[in-house]
Amino acid sequence: MNRYPVLTLLLPFTLLTTACVTPSPAQDPEQEKQSLIQNVLEKNVSGQSGGLQLTNTDRVIVTPVKTWKSVTGHFCRSYITEAWNDRTLQAKTTATACRNKHGKWITVSS
């Protein structure tokens, strides 16, 4: 005798409906990179990297380096962005972003 008759009935239905769900379309890689930068600058301490796997071989890593308050009173951060392809560093850039009055990080130099 099955002690869990409802589970037995629902499990096949759950698997069937889960398999039919279409994933949402992927974001544009540039949008994904900008989202990563926003997230890392907002949440990570200096030296703590955050990464994003764009494809099977392409990866972007963002590392905040320094944080300060500008003369206008905005918080700013310098950060490094690395683009990797199949374990090979393709590009490394340094940039500065400052938080605007709405809380969004805006890149002011790169």
Quickly count: other Cβ atoms within 10 Å of residue 65's Cβ. Answer: 13
Domain ranges of the chain: 27-109
pLDDT at 48: 97
pLDDT of residue 20: 35
**Beta strands, E only, 17-109:** 50-53, 58-69, 75-85, 88-99, 105-109
Specify which residues 80 forms β-bridges with.
63, 94
Residue of 51 and 7 predicted with greater confidence: 51
Instruction: With cut-offs at 50, 70 and 90, classify the pLDDT of residue 110.
Output: confident
Residue type, 99: R
Give the model confidence (pLDDT) of 80-102 as tens digits: 999 999 999 999 999 999 999 99
pLDDT tens-digit readout, 7-44: 444 444 433 333 333 333 457 888 999 999 999 999 99
pTM here is: 0.72
Phi-psi map region of 25: left, alpha, beta (phi>0 left; psi -120 to 50 alpha): beta
